[in-house]
Amino acid sequence: MFTKLNLTSNLMHSRVFEIKRYQTPYKKECISNSVSSIYSVSGWVRARWLHWRSSCVRDCKRSPTPEDARSATTPRRQTARTMFNMKLKERLALAVSAFLILFTLMLIVDLQMDYGISGHRVPLHGRVKIVDDVDKGNSAYIEFRKRFLQRSNGSNSSREFEQSAPSETSGLDTEPRTPSPPADRFEHLQRILLLQIQGKSVDHAVIIPPHKDLNVIRPENPTIGEMEDLEPSLNASNLEKFQLKIAQHELYEDGEKLVEAILKDMSTTSILHVEQKEGGTQLKLIIDYPNGVQALFKPMRFARDVQTLPNHFYFSDYERHNAEIAAFHLDRILGFRRAMPVVGRVLNMTTEIYDVTEGDILKTFFVSPANNFCFHGKCSYYCDTGHAICGNPDMLEGSFAAFLPSSDLAERKVWRHPWRRSYHKRRKAQWELQSDYCDTVRTTPPYDSGRRLLDLMDMSIFDFLTGNMDRHHYETFKMFGNETFTLHLDQGRAFGKAFHDELSILAPLLQCCFVRHTTLAVLLKYHNGVSLSSILRESMKADPVSPILWEPHLTALDRRMVTILDAIRKCVEKAENPLENELNDIV
């Protein structure tokens, strides 16, 4: 009994600890009230029980009487009498306490499920209504997936299990594979684009023409500098100038010269100071350069050809520094320009990290058995000796992302992504269960008008290309309101599986059947012209730590492109011939 009680109290402790980690401030207050009421209520119940027991010692502990023998139901009657004798107030209190205990338990279970192990404590802006939990079996996503898998020649779905273990992959299969010339040029989609440019087919349900797209019309497009009435000073750094030029509809203009200048600054300027970034799940460093310039550093953990471990969930995958670099280039090539510039650099861990940092992180440095200089920092994932970041012997490669403007200059708003995953190993997210999930999103602000839903479609395409399943939240600049672009931040978990195309990342597009004319035009341009992989490979050659991507990841881009175009074509066909398609689906 004693052990059991102890176990229960341990469990309670660990649950209270879990609550502390995952709750939102409102829920925190609510839960702590409930938890304290568990304690006070259970204290009250104990006092009540002790009182009852002491009165029982007086009245109940006696030799059995003939009366007792006559009635087998006496104890029950006594309990009933005791209950009856209880004051109404006491009975009410008992009922309330039982309810509170149940409610708290439900809340704890719900929170653990909701926040999984990622532990994000961001306010849930733009919440999406929860509707039915039933899979009606006809969702575009499920249906496309079914067809896709049926058609699959095995290169997409099965090879993920054939991935070599990380240590075995090095040096293998690195020859560039030229994809066979595309047989399918998606001419029907091209025709629609042409018609829209000619001012026809402008009410298309799937492809949103430029003149209806706020990202193209841009009635206003002020910069942060204009909004804040600030101009860069004479000795302003390139980054400061860049930050003031960030506009409502894009981070930087097409061909912006400051991008190259920032990349050069971050990869060559001397490092003044380093500190660990608070928050986030994996280790990141804030790098200080002269003139107030800052970068976010993610360290290299393993070689380019090491893939996500087959038994790792997306949320327990390591971050890849090269994924950040590649994603920046890809974002730019696709014409989004919503990712901050990122560059690679090799650091001397002694002079450029150890000597210029202070505090707790210093205590985590050590020399490994292989005589390499290592450290692990402090964070909630992989910050221990077993997962240390090691130099060779003290040279360490990493990615350097240009710092976003400080919150004093431009505060950001964090939004919960409507298609976020459950971050729980057994639980599914709402969008995976509800076939008409997009209808719910479409009618919920800010997705019911303007550019936001189209931005999420772009993000879904971008993430599907890179294989990034970790899009739990996204951010916008507050000062621009809702009609502004969504930042493409945190691509650390992209480019993890070269031989697997994760169709669920495309769920927003598949469920909404909605895409920008301009985005489709770019996709078709690369599909029918010089391939996306070639353009990306070329763009990344300029990086100091090139080659950035393992060739199979580049090949995957061209393959995934076909899947996206196929999905859009299917949406178009469905919109144009709804009846015929329904019949086909049944057959």
Name the minimum Å distance from CB 340 to ligand ATP: 4
Beta bridge partners of 344: 399
**Which helix H or strand E contains 145, and what residues bound it?**
helix 140-151
Is residue 470 part of the annotated active site? The answer reads yes
523 binds, among ligand ATP, Mn ion, none (CB under 5 to 8 A by kind): none
Q: Quote the CA–CA distance of 230 and 409 in Å, as a whole number.
A: 10
The answer to whether residue 282 forms part of the interface with ligand ATP (CB under 6 A) is yes
Length of the chain (residues): 587
404 binds, among ligand ATP, Mn ion, none (CB under 5 to 8 A by kind): ligand ATP
The answer to whether residue 305 forms part of the interface with Mn ion (CB under 5 A) is no
| Out of 232, 280, 335, 393, the residue judged to bind ligand ATP by CB under 6 A | 280
List, in order, residues 6 or more apart from 565 with CB less than 8 Å away: 186, 189, 523, 524, 527
The answer to whether residue 490 forms part of the interface with Mn ion (CB under 5 A) is yes
Give the N- to C-terminal CA distance of the chain in Å, as an integer: 62
The answer to whether residue 331 forms part of the interface with Mn ion (CB under 5 A) is no
278 is in an annotated binding site: no
Q: Quote the CA–CA distance of 448 and 108 in Å, as a whole number.
A: 33
Binding mask 348-367 for ligand ATP (x = CB under 6 A): --------------------
Q: Quote the CA–CA distance of 249 and 476 in Å, as a whole number.
A: 10
319 is in an annotated binding site: yes
The answer to whether residue 463 forms part of the interface with Mn ion (CB under 5 A) is no
* Pairing status of strand 342-348 against strand 395-402: antiparallel
Q: Which long-range contacts (CB under 8 A, 24 or more apart) does 479-484 make?
A: 479/224, 479/227, 479/228, 479/410, 479/411, 480/222, 480/227, 480/248, 482/445, 482/446, 482/450, 482/452, 483/214, 483/248, 483/450, 483/451, 484/248, 484/249, 484/451
Which among 157-165, 201-209, 279-287, 565-573 is the span making contact with ligand ATP, rule CB under 6 A? 279-287
Strands of the sheet containing 389-390, edge to edge, are: 366-367, 373-375, 389-390
Pick 479 or 575: Cβ nearer ligand ATP: 479
166 binds, among Mn ion, ligand ATP, none (CB under 5 to 8 A by kind): none
Helix (H, G, I), strand (E, B) or coil at 286: strand
Residue nearest to Mn ion (CB): 490
Here the tokens at position 247 are 């506009």
List, in order, residues 6 or more apart from 556 with CB less than 8 Å away: 467, 498, 499, 501
403 binds, among Mn ion, ligand ATP, none (CB under 5 to 8 A by kind): ligand ATP
| Out of 111, 206, 224, 404, the residue judged to bind ligand ATP by CB under 6 A | 404
318 binds, among Mn ion, ligand ATP, none (CB under 5 to 8 A by kind): none
Name the minimum Å distance from CB 492 to Mn ion: 5
The answer to whether residue 502 forms part of the interface with Mn ion (CB under 5 A) is no
Name the minimum Å distance from CB 200 to ligand ATP: 42
4 is in an annotated binding site: no
282 is in an annotated binding site: yes
Residues binding Mn ion (CB under 5 A): 490
Annotated binding site for Mn(2+): 319, 490
Residues serving a catalytic function are: 470
